[in-house]
Amino acid sequence: MYDRAVGRAARRRPPRSSGSSRGRKQPGLSRKEKVRLTQLAICLVLFLTVFLGKGIFPQKIAGLQSRLLSVLTADTDFRQAFSQLGESLSGQGPVLEEIGQFCVEVFGGGVSVELPQDPSMAEADFLNRKSDPDQLAAHYLRTADMPQSWLSNAQEDGAGEEETVSAQPQQAAQETAQEAQSVPAVGTVLLSANYTGTPLPENYTMDQLSLGALETMNPITGHLRSTYGYRDHPVDGEYKFHNGVDIGGQEGDPIHAFAAGTVDYIGENDTHGLYLQIDHGNGVKTFYAHCSKLLVSKGQTVAMGDTVALVGSTGVATGPHLHFEIKCAGIHVDPAYYVTFLTD
């Protein structure tokens, strides 16, 4: 009876394994344990960084400490921020986006970045536009290894640019005023001809004199037919001084005002034919002769380039041309200093 009971018990009892427990499959770490290990690793890295940095870079660590104190005094939900970061690291969310958002929540979204001395256009464009917190955080992560000296207030840079732009009109006005002051006064000798020829008539010069700030243009476009100075007259052959220059043209070509001014007088005589003179102010006057027709009257105000007469050959002339003179402060000067001629 006893033997039967022992046999039945032995059959019900599971056999013991004689092998070693080394072959058993160990259960894996749970998700919570992975998160804790990750957090532990992060804390260890931070501790080593601070420990080593304090001995090597004490000034930077002091600055970091000041930054952390300002962060800790801010109204930030650290528990929620670290919780979201932990979930991302454990595989429950996008890691890069969560790290970026973590930086924004803990360190604030108002951090500004000062570009290096030679930044790329892409960096400049990024900082010049308003970005959302995610874009800023991603940018901070990419530039995390930048020197601390590159980090500053970007608003100060913007204010400096505005000051520069607003100062440009004032600077341009000052430069214009300086240029006006630098223009030699009317009658100042700009170029000495060192003339040693036949003595000049009174109130005539071969030097180039300043016309001041007068804006001028060619009265006509043509070839130089006769120069300023002594010559043999083409009609009577007499050697005498030519008061101006003769510029060739076609009958009826327009003659333009050399500069703005007022018609001083108009007239006609046997030598010059139809002529006129314009007073440009500050002692500068111009004379136009041998015209076929006058288109202005005495006292009329004209602008530079206005048509005041037409080319002709009235008076003593060998063909249609413009006889043109310039007087500066009562002195006749060579018009070739102030106008150009065709050369072909």
- For the question of whether the overall pTM of this predicted structure is more than 0.75, the answer is no
**What is the DSSP pairing of strand 321-328 with strand 261-269?**
unpaired
Q: Are 107 and 71 in contact (CB under 8 A)?
A: yes
Kindly state the helix (H) or strand (E) to which residue 241 belongs, with its residue range.
strand 239-242
How many Cβ atoms sit within 10 Å of the Cβ of residue 232?
10
The verdict on residue 209 lying in a domain is yes
Q: pLDDT digits over 58-98, tens only? A: 666 666 666 666 655 555 565 666 666 556 555 555 555 55
- Rounded to the nearest integer, the mean pLDDT of the chain is 77
SS3 21: helix
Confidence (pLDDT) at 115 = 42
pLDDT along the chain (344 residues), means of 10: 53 52 60 78 78 66 64 59 59 55 54 45 52 54 50 53 60 66 90 96 97 97 97 93 97 98 98 98 98 98 98 96 97 98 93
The verdict on residue 321 lying in a domain is yes
How many Cβ atoms sit within 10 Å of the Cβ of residue 154?
15
The verdict on residue 122 lying in a domain is no
Alpha-carbon gap, residue 45 to 104, rounded angstroms = 21
Question: Cα–Cα distances in Å, from 70 out to 67, 105, 196?
Answer: 5, 13, 86
The verdict on residue 88 lying in a domain is no
The verdict on residue 241 lying in a domain is yes
Question: Token digits for 132?
Answer: 């959302």
Q: How many domains does the chain have?
A: 1
Confidence (pLDDT) at 170 = 73
- What residue numbers bound the domain in which 236 lies? 190-337
Confidence (pLDDT) at 40 = 82
Question: Token digits for 184?
Answer: 């030699």
Residue 95's nearest CA partner among 104, 85, 83, 105 is 85
Alpha-carbon gap, residue 206 to 234, rounded angstroms = 22
Question: Token digits for 196?
Answer: 């040693």
The verdict on residue 332 lying in a domain is yes
CATH at residue 206 = 2.70.70.10
Kindly state the helix (H) or strand (E) to which residue 248 belongs, with its residue range.
strand 245-248
Q: Are 200 and 328 in contact (CB under 8 A)?
A: no
**What is the DSSP pairing of strand 273-279 with strand 284-294?**
antiparallel
Residue 210's nearest CA partner among 129, 96, 328, 80 is 328
The verdict on residue 120 lying in a domain is no
Give the bridge partners for 288, in sequence order: 276, 324
Buried/exposed 20-59: b ≥16 CB within 10 Å, e otherwise:
eeeeeeeeeeeeeeebeeeeeeeeeeeeeeeeeeeeeeee
Greatest distance between any 2 Cα atoms in the chain = 174
At 147, the amino acid letter reads P
The verdict on residue 83 lying in a domain is no
Q: Are 263 and 251 in contact (CB under 8 A)?
A: no
